[in-house]
């Protein structure tokens, strides 16, 4: 039995807006709705014709439980389009597409809106445990005497907030922050600070070149209610240089480390979408697919080495298809950290790593830098954790089309020690 073809017919994303240290103008569902509206508007079908909506989001707002359903209803899909949310940390957006892919393969759906969204600037600031306990005591205090007694127990330390974002970016099992796992890779592969900073500068330059060349036409302008509009990623630093980056202090392993804010992905708000369609839906609505998904795969590894996830996932996927790195025209490997991307590139061409960790008999191959993240990546564009997976899948198709190439792999590392990869083919 041949597998049915799963098409990607269109996609888009919001501009990725760098966190300014306070909640940004859009919440996660706002970003997703604003970006999807123009996407749906240009389709020959209406929002109510979708079979389901799947959204990846790592930390939606407290009142955004099952954010996908909220988004679907706000988009005018009506009461009858089911919607569900997925969470696989940094790969949530790719998981959404993968879940849609699966449902299409199974024949359960014909037309699916899938993507991811994240408003990292809105991540909550919480009371710490002491404060919560104290508030509970206060609530239970009835008599004036009790109230005075409880009040007297209040300590300044109770007011120290828990920063949700930092909790989210730390591994809850081994206790390392994501940046510290990147420091592990620096150590393991002997990556220098200069190499990382160099990589970061290239990311910014590539993004700026792409912006100038209008390669990012998948960005939809979005509007807040204060009279502002946003039509471009705002993370690119035109003045980024090795000199400037070298001056930044390491933030994760303070003092002695080498992973800095400048060579890590930015904290950003954004949403990205693709529409997946079956053969039948393509015929029914007379759609013109931009690509198809050939395969996807997931792999897991030591959480302390999570940055190498892409190597494991990609190897697993390509092996099953009897393909090698050389068969792939273009790559999107999410830039969580410059160190982590460089480590992945190093691991792939390292015989020993491939033998011991992947069980291969020799090195997997070399991913050429000029075919990898050609229009910049999360270091310059930003990494709204729920959205990035969808962004790189869709953008990869754009890159393939622009270069008249055929096959591409989009892959990400996932906090907690996993990797995800997706193989797509451009159809022109």
Residues annotated as catalytic (active site), given as ranges: 90, 383, 413
Smallest separation, CB 61 to another protein (Å) = 13
Q: Which residue has the tokens 């389709």?
A: 43
The smaller minimum CB distance to another protein, of residues 142 and 226, is found at 226
231 binds another protein (CB under 8 A): yes
Q: Which of 3, 22, 142, 226 binds another protein (CB under 8 A)?
A: 226
Smallest separation, CB 117 to another protein (Å) = 15
The pair of structure tokens assigned to 290 is: 């931009």
Smallest separation, CB 261 to another protein (Å) = 31
The smaller minimum CB distance to another protein, of residues 36 and 91, is found at 36
Binding track, positions 235-264, relative to another protein; x by CB under 8 A: ------------------------------
Smallest separation, CB 119 to another protein (Å) = 15
Q: Which stretch binds another protein (CB under 8 A): 71-79, 187-195, 401-409, 413-421?
A: 71-79
Binding track, positions 162-191, relative to another protein; x by CB under 8 A: ------------------------------
Q: Which of 5, 23, 37, 329 binds another protein (CB under 8 A)?
A: 37
Q: Which stretch binds another protein (CB under 8 A): 17-25, 48-56, 227-235, 260-268?
A: 227-235
Smallest separation, CB 75 to another protein (Å) = 8
Q: What's the chain look like in SS3? A: CCCCCEEEEEEEECCCEECCCCCCCCCHHHHHHHHHHHHHHCCCCCHHHCCEEEEECCCCCCCCCCHHHHHHHHCCCCCCCCEEEECECECHHHHHHHHHHHHHHCCCCCEEEEEEEEEHHHCCEECCHHHHHHHHHHHHCCCHHHHHHHHHCCCHHHHCCEEHHHHHCECCCCCCEHHHHHHHHHHHHCCCHHHHHHHHHHHHHHHHHHHHCCCCCCECCEECCCCCEECCCCCCCCCCCHHHHHHCCECCCCCCCCCEHHHECCCEEEEEEEEEEEHHHHHHHCCCCCEEEEEEEEEECCHHHHHHHHHHHHHHHHHHCCCCHHHCCEEEECCCEHHHHHHHHHHHCCHHHHHHHHCCCCCCCCCCHHHECCCCCHHHHCCCCCCHHHHHHHHHHHHHHHCCCCEEEEEEEECCCEEEEEEEEECC
The smaller minimum CB distance to another protein, of residues 48 and 243, is found at 48
Smallest separation, CB 224 to another protein (Å) = 8
Question: Residues 6 or more apart from 312 whose CB is under 8 A from it?
Answer: 299, 300, 301, 357, 358, 419
Residue 418, strand partner residues: 300, 414
Smallest separation, CB 226 to another protein (Å) = 6
The smaller minimum CB distance to another protein, of residues 38 and 107, is found at 38
In the region spanning residues 281 to 340, those forming contacts with another protein, defined by CB under 8 A, are none
The smaller minimum CB distance to another protein, of residues 20 and 231, is found at 231
In the region spanning residues 196 to 225, those forming contacts with another protein, defined by CB under 8 A, are 221, 223-225
The smaller minimum CB distance to another protein, of residues 229 and 256, is found at 229
227 binds another protein (CB under 8 A): yes
Q: Which stretch binds another protein (CB under 8 A): 72-80, 176-184, 207-215, 322-330?
A: 72-80
CA pair distance 117, 173, nearest whole angstrom: 25
In the region spanning residues 14 to 33, those forming contacts with another protein, defined by CB under 8 A, are 33
The smaller minimum CB distance to another protein, of residues 75 and 390, is found at 75
62 binds another protein (CB under 8 A): no
Summarize as ranges the residues that interact with another protein (CB under 8 A).
Answer: 33, 37-38, 41-42, 46, 74-76, 221, 223-229, 231
């Amino acid at each position: 039995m041949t597998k049915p073809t799963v098409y990607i017919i269109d996609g888009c994303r919001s501009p990725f807006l760098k966190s300014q240290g306070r909640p940004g103008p859009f919440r996660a569902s706002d970003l997703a709705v604003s970006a999807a509206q123009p996407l749906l508007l240009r389709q020959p079908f209406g929002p109510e014709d979708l079979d389901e909506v799947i959204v990846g989001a790592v930390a939606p707002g407290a009142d955004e439980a099952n954010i996908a359903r909220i988004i679907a209803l706000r988009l005018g899909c009506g009461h009858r389009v089911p919607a569900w949310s997925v969470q696989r940390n940094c790969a949530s957006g790719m998981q959404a597409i993968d879940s849609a892919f699966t449902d299409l393969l199974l024949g359960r759906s014909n037309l699916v809106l899938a993507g991811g969204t994240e408003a990292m600037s809105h991540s909550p600031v919480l009371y710490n445990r002491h404060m919560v306990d104290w508030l509970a005591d206060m609530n239970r205090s009835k008599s004036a005497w009790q109230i005075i007694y409880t009040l007297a127990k209040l300590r300044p330390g109770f007011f120290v907030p828990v920063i949700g974002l930092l909790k989210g970016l730390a591994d809850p099992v081994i206790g390392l922050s994501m940046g510290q796992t990147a420091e592990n890779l620096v150590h393991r592969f002997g990556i220098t600070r200069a190499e990382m900073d160099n990589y970061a500068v290239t990311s910014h330059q590539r993004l700026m070149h792409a912006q100038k060349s209008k390669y990012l036409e998948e960005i939809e302008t979005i509007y807040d209610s204060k009279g502002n509009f946003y039509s471009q990623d705002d993370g690119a630093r035109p003045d980024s240089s090795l000199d400037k980056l070298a001056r930044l202090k390491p933030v994760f392993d303070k003092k002695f480390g080498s992973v800095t804010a400048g060579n890590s992905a930015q904290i950003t708000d954004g949403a990205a979408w693709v529409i997946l369609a079956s053969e039948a839906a393509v015929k029914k609505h007379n759609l013109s697919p931009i690509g198809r998904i050939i395969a996807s795969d997931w792999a897991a590894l030591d959480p302390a080495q999570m940055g190498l996830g892409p190597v494991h996932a990609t190897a697993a996927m390509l092996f099953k298809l009897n393909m090698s790195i050389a068969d792939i025209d273009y790559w999107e490997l999410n830039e969580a950290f410059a160190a982590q991307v460089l480590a992945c590139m190093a691991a792939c061409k390292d015989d020993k790593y491939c033998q011991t960790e992947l069980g291969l008999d020799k090195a997997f191959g070399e991913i050429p830098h000029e075919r990898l993240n050609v229009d910049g990546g999360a270091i310059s564009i930003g990494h709204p954790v729920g959205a990035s997976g969808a962004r790189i899948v869709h953008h990869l198709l754009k890159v393939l089309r622009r270069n008249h190439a055929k096959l591409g792999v989009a892959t990400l590392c996932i906090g907690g020690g996993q990797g995800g990869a997706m193989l797509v083919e451009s159809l022109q």
